[in-house]
Structure 1
Amino acid sequence: MVSPELAAQSTMVRALLGRAQATLPSPPLRHVQACAKLYEDFAEYLEHNELELALDTLMELGHLTSPGDGFWRDLERAAEVMGLNNRVVALRESFRTAPLPPEAE
């Protein structure tokens, strides 16, 4: 049986990964096929509760599509919740170098 703490962590990670995935921009034409495969993989990993693999897949998608800093912050937080400290450093760097969102007019 899954502990309430573990269930809450899983729910939080799923929410963070879902929010990050929703913010991904359309891929450049040269990466459309690769991104389509990665989106399929991401959905499959979530279906099988492979959250670490889902995180890794979103990281790959992020490097192909250049999302904004919020995407990387959500992934960083998901990695922290899962205790994946080795990923947190790389995600912080991706956040630091993410393109800035366009200024509101």
Structure 2
Amino acid sequence: MSDPELVKSWKVTETLLERARRALPDAPVDHEQACIAFLAQYREFLEHNELELALDVLETLGHLSSARGGFWRDLERVAENMGLLDRLPALQKAFSQAPMPTKSR
């Protein structure tokens, strides 16, 4: 049986990954088929509890689709929760370079 703290950490990670996935903008036309394939791969990794691989796929999708800052912040939280501190600089850079939200009138 798994350690309850580990199970809780997995659930937090899964929740953050899914929140990030939902924050992805629509795939650009020139990458639409690749994004569909990546999303299928992401779901498979999530189903098999391959959370770091799921993070890898979302990071790729974020770069392909010019994801906004909230997406990158969620991936930062995933990396922190998983203890993948070496991943933080790249995710923080992606956050700092993310497109700014447009102002609504």
Q: TM-score range by the shorter chain?
A: over 0.9
Residue 85 of structure 1 deviates from its aligned partner by: 1.0
| 1:1-105 superposed matches below 5 A | 1-105=1-105
RMSD of aligned residue pairs (Cα, Å): 0.6
5+ residue gaps, structure 1: none
TM-score, with structure 1 as normaliser: 0.97
3-state DSSP of counterpart to 2:98: coil
How many residue pairs match? The answer is 105
Q: State the one-letter code of the partner of 1:41.
A: Q
Distance 2:70 2:102 in 1: 13
Q: State the one-letter code of the partner of 1:56.
A: D
% identical equivalent positions: 50
Give CA-to-partner distance per residue, 1:17-66, whole Å, 9 cap, x none: 00000010111111011101100000000000000000000000000000
Structure 1 runs of 4+ off > 6 angstroms?
A: none
Distance 1:29 1:9 in 2: 36
TM-score, with structure 2 as normaliser: 0.97
5+ residue gaps, structure 2: none
Distance 1:86 1:99 in 2: 24
